[in-house]
Amino acid sequence: MNPVRILKHEAEEVKAETARLSSFVGAVAIGDLVKSTLGPKGMDKILVSYGRNEGQVMITNDGATILKAVGVDNPAAKILVDMSRVQDDEVGDGTTSVAVLGKYLNDVTMTYYRKSVCKKEKMLCLCLSFTL
């Protein structure tokens, strides 16, 4: 019996430590993307559309708008984007703060992950990072 191919032909397969670390990197990227928009001296972002609305340009410093416009493939980054969407739906404010807080909680988890000696500790750190 031949194996059934589930993934697309251009899909990449990543295993072990590389897969674990890529999840952390995705969350850090999303947090850093919107972190600079916080506060009275927050910076604006220029969003350029591709695909259906190609060439459309939008300037904003609203974290919710930025996160809605960004296409995300990384699982941890998707969690942060989903967290901010839920925050926007439920409260209507604080979407950027939620993404930045999630990023920093992920950073703390990553610090413990690097210091962990045994596999049980590392798995606990991974579970914590994905539940945040």
- Is a pLDDT exceeding 70 seen at residue 117? no
SS3 45: strand
Q: Which of 48-52, 95-99, 109-113 has the highest mean pLDDT?
A: 95-99
What would the pLDDT profile of 9-24 be if each residue is shown by its tens digit?
777 777 767 767 777 7
Instruction: Calculate mean pLDDT across residues 21-40.
Output: 85
For residues 66 and 74, give the distance between their C-alpha atoms in angstroms, rounded to a whole number.
16
Structure tokens at 25: 């990197």
HSE at residue 63, side-chain half, CA atoms within 13 A, is 29
How is the chain split into domains, by residue range?
A: 16-131
What's the CATH superfamily of 16-131?
GroEL-like equatorial domain (1.10.560.10)
pLDDT value of residue 1? 63
CB 46 within 8 A of CB 59: yes
What would the pLDDT profile of 88-107 be if each residue is shown by its tens digit?
899 988 888 888 888 888 88
Going by DSSP bridges, is the β-strand pair 45-48/57-60 parallel, antiparallel, or unpaired?
antiparallel
Q: What percent of the chain has pLDDT over 70?
A: 80
CB 76 within 8 A of CB 17: no
